[in-house]
A and B are shown apart, each in its own frame.
Chain A
Amino acid sequence: EPEVTQTPSHQVTQMGQEVILRCVPISNHLYFYWYRQILGQKVEFLVSFYNNEISEKSEIFDDQFSVERPDGSNFTLKIRSTKLEDSAMYFCASSEALRTNQPQHFGDGTRLSIL
């Protein structure tokens, strides 16, 4: 069964450094998402992306965050200057279409640890 893959599985970064989290969505999917889960808290929506544009973003997704689809297969999340509070599991998801009954499928996540 096709799946969403994320790399790396664990990223340790010094505060203030830039980090790029990578995702390969399911190949025929057109809609891409990033979510995060801070330890002990809910999974939270960050951003959705379609047709090389951000469709929607949450208030968490400030100017420090950016997303890009640099080629036909990768989808990346960049954090420009990391803060301690950015430490979380980051999940990438994709869906085939943007309509009811098209569930989002998630990768296994990248654990981001900011020191």
Chain B
Amino acid sequence: DQQVKQNSPSLSVQEGRISILNCDYTNSMFDYFLWYKKYPAEGPTFLISISSIKDKNEDGRFTVFLNKSAKHLSLHIVPSQPGDSAVYFCAASGSNYKLTFGKGTLLTVNP
């Protein structure tokens, strides 16, 4: 099941710089997209979401961009902080509201 894909298993950035995490999806019925952050031994923590009627949603240092025609979304974190180091999951849902997750991207922010 490859309906949600995160092609980069890992990303390393310097503190203070921008982190850009990418996600692609194939199911055109998805209309709600979410990013979760996960630390080891903890559950996914909701970070930010966007509905398909928007192309951008911003919350503090976190911005999600949605390109529906390309079936692509991205999460921008700026400025990146060492505490942002975690696995980031992209997830999507449609009318049945069940979440379909990507495999995750391990973000490492170096001091």
Contacts and interface: CB of A to CB of B under 8 A. Distances in A.
A100 B32 contact: yes
Nearest to A35: B99
Contacts of A12: none
A115 interface: no
A114 B89 CA distance: 27
Interface residues of A, number: 26
A60 to B, nearest CB: 11
A4 B43 CA distance: 10
A30 to B, nearest CB: 12
B44 A43 contact: yes
Interface in A37-53: 41-45, 48
Given A43-B89, A107-B43, A108-B41, A33 B32 contact: no
A40 to B, nearest CB: 9
Contact of A103 (B46, B96, B103, B104): B46
Interface residues of B, number: 24
Contacts of B101: 42-44
A84 B101 CA distance: 24
A23 to B, nearest CB: 11
Interface in B31-51: 31-32, 34, 36, 41-46, 49, 51
Interface of B: 1, 31-32, 34, 36, 41-46, 49, 51, 89, 91, 96-104
27 contacts: A4-B43, A31-B97, A33-B99, A41-B103, A42-B1, A42-B102, A42-B104, A43-B99, A44-B101, A45-B100, A48-B97, A48-B98, A56-B96, A56-B97, A58-B98, A91-B43, A98-B97, A101-B32, A104-B34, A104-B99, A106-B36, A106-B43, A106-B46, A107-B43, A108-B41, A108-B43, A109-B43
Interface of A: 4, 6, 31, 33, 35, 41-45, 48, 55-56, 58, 91, 95, 98, 100-101, 103-109
